A = this chain, B = another copy of it.
Amino acid sequence: MVTSGKPQGAPEPAGESCRLPWPFDVYEAQCPTRMVLDRIADKWAVLILDRLRDGPVRFNHLRRDIKGISQKVLSQTLKKLERDGLLSRAVFPTVPVTVEYALTPLGRTLTDAVAAIAHWAERNMDAVLAAQAAYDARAGGDPG
């Protein structure tokens, strides 16, 4: 048991490092925006945030929808996103217990940008695939 009251995933001291007045600069290594960027620039976080756009979703529902995510990673990611104030967690004392996750107002301001990323991937997949094929043909099979 290594935790001293906090989950294993987020031992970073928040806010004390970068004392830039304003605005924050993501290009600065010590700026806290880097941490946020690292959080939201994450495949699973993107999918979760996008998934919650339609409304609250239960834990196992998210797990089923976001195919390939493990329970552990889902749990961790949800916790981090909750800590960042991007989503809220509501527990209903049913039996068995029901837990719903939903976007907070702050989270909602982000999901548009995040959804844009996900949708871009879907829309431009063909072009990316073609570019990869061209690159591989160039690098792998064309010595002369």
Q: Determine if A144 is an interface residue (Cβ-Cβ < 8 Å).
A: no
- Tell me how many chains of this kind the complex includes: 2
Cβ B41 vs Cβ A135 within 8 A: no
Cβ A5 vs Cβ B132 within 8 A: no
Minimum CB distance partner of A29 in chain B: B68
Q: How large is the interface on A (under 10, 10 to 19, 20 to 34, 35 or more residues)?
A: 35 or more
Candidate in A32, A55, A132 with the most chain B CB atoms within 10 angstroms: A132
Q: Determine if A73 is an interface residue (Cβ-Cβ < 8 Å).
A: no
**In the assembled complex, how far is the CB of residue A72 from the closest CB belonging to chain B, in whole angstroms?**
16
Cβ B2 vs Cβ A55 within 8 A: yes
Please name the 8 residue pairs, one residue from A and one from B, whose CB atoms are nearest each other, closest first: A85-B131, A29-B68, A113-B116, A29-B67, A33-B121, A2-B54, A83-B135, A36-B121
